[in-house]
Structure 1
Amino acid sequence: MEFTFDQPLLSTVQSLLSVPDEMEKLLNAPTRSYVQDTKAMAYTPADVKEYPSSFVFVLDMPGLKAEDIKVQIENGNVLSISGERKRDEHPRQKEKEKEKEEAEAKYLRMERRVGKLMRKFTLPENANADAISAVCQDGVLTVTVPKVPPPEPKKPKTIEVKVA
C-alpha cells in the first residue's frame, strides 16, 4: 500500500516548512546592540604604541569625564574601553528650565558625535593585565599595559658523571 499526499496538502506543508526570504533575513540580521557597538568601534579612533616595557593605547574621548569611561579586561586578554557621550547638559539649569529650553531648541548643525564610544584590543601574551593603568586628561584617555618581563634564560645544569 502506497501512502500519498494530495497536492493541496503537500503544497501547504511545503510552504509551512520553508521560511520566507524576509523572515530569514530577520532571523540572520545583526542585533541593534551589535550594530551600535560596531559603529562605536568604527568611530572611536585609537593610537597604539609599543615601548620596550609597555603597550600604550591613546583614545580620544571628547566630552567624557574619567568616571564616565570604563576600562576592563574581558576573557583574560581583551582590553575593552567604552563610554557614552550624551548631548550637552547644563548642570546649573533646573530640570524644568532645561526641558523647556531643549523643547525650544532647534539644531542648525550637529557635527559633534554623540553616543557610544568603544574599542576592544586583544592583548599579546606578554601583556601584564594585572598592572594596567588609565589616565584621562583633556578628553584624551591613555591606557598603559606593562609587559611581563621575559623569563631569564636558564643556565645549563651540569650533572656529575660518576664512575660505576
Structure 2
Amino acid sequence: MNLVKFNNNLNQSLLPGFNDVFDSIFNDTFFNDRLISRVPAANISESENHYHVELAAPGLKKGDFRLNLDRDVLNISVEQNMETSDTQKNYNKREYSYHSWVRSFTLPESANPDDIQAFYTDGILNIEIAKREEAKMVRRQIEIR
C-alpha cells in the first residue's frame, strides 16, 4: 500500500486560507527543527555570580538525567526505556520524544567546577554553575568630576 498526498482544490475554493492556518502550525520550522535534532532546546544566561543553563525536557523524571563533568565539559545525558505496555498511546503527532540524547557544554575558565547544582522542575532542567571569585562582576559607583 502506498501513501499518496491528496490535494483537494475544492477546499481551497470554498474556504481560501483555511488549510494555510494548519499548514503554518504543523509545518512550523520550530517543530521541524526539534524533530530533526531530537535534543531539548537550551537557554544559557549569566548573572553576577552564576551561569545558568535551562533545558526544556518535558515528560522526564529527575532520575532520567545524568550530569558528568569531564575536565571543562559538562555532559548532560538521558537514557530512557520505551514503555511496552498495552496502554501505550497511539499518537497522531508526537513532537517530543526523548529516548536517549547527550548535550555537551564547554565551561568558561571563569566557571567554578566545584560548585555546580542542578534541579528539575516543571519539565525544565536548571543547572547553576557558580563563577570563580575573581570572575565575579565588580560593581561600584564612579564619581564624575
TM-score with structure 2 setting the length: 0.59
Identify the residue that residue 125 of structure 1 maps to in structure 2.
Answer: 109
AA matched with 1:147: K
- The question of 1:78 aligning with 2:73 is answered yes
Deviation string 1:8-64 (CA, Å, 9 cap, x unpaired) is xxxxxxxxxxxxxxxxxxxxxxxxxxxxxx944xx3210001111110100011111
Distance 1:106 1:49 in 2: 38
SS in 2 for 1:150: helix
Structure 1 residues 119, 149: closer, same or farther in 2, change over 3 A?
Answer: same
Q: Name the residue aligned to 1:137.
A: 121
The answer to whether 1:108 aligns with 2:103 is no
Any gaps of 5 or more consecutive residues in structure 1? 1-37, 90-94, 152-164
**5+ long unaligned stretches in structure 2:** 1-35, 136-145
Q: How far did 1:146 drift? A: 0.2
Find 1:50's aligned residue among 46, 68, 84: 46
Whose strand proportion is higher, 1 or 2? Answer: 2
Deviation at 1:101, TM superposition (A): 4.8
Q: Is 1:85–1:117's contact at 8 Å kept on the other side of the alignment?
A: no
Task: Report how many residues are paired.
Answer: 100
Match of 2:44, SS state, is strand
Q: Distance in 2 between matches of 1:150 and 1:101?
A: 55
> Following the alignment from structure 1 to structure 2, what is the Cα–Cα distance between the partners of residues 62 and 84?
14
Q: Whole-Å Cα distance in 2 between the matches of residues 111 and 145 of structure 1?
A: 30
Distance in 2 (alpha carbons) for counterparts of 1:54 and 1:134? 12
The separation in 1 between residues aligned to 2:40 and 2:96, in whole angstroms, is 13
1:150 equivalent in alignment to 2:134? yes
Give the superposed CA RMSD: 2.5
Q: Which has the higher helix share?
A: 1
Give the percent of matched residue pairs that are identical in Structure 1 and Structure 2. Answer: 31
Could you tell me how far apart the structure 2 residues matched to 1:65 and 1:110 are? Answer: 19
Alpha-carbon distance in 1 for matches of 2:112, 2:127: 12
Structure 1 length-normalised TM: 0.53
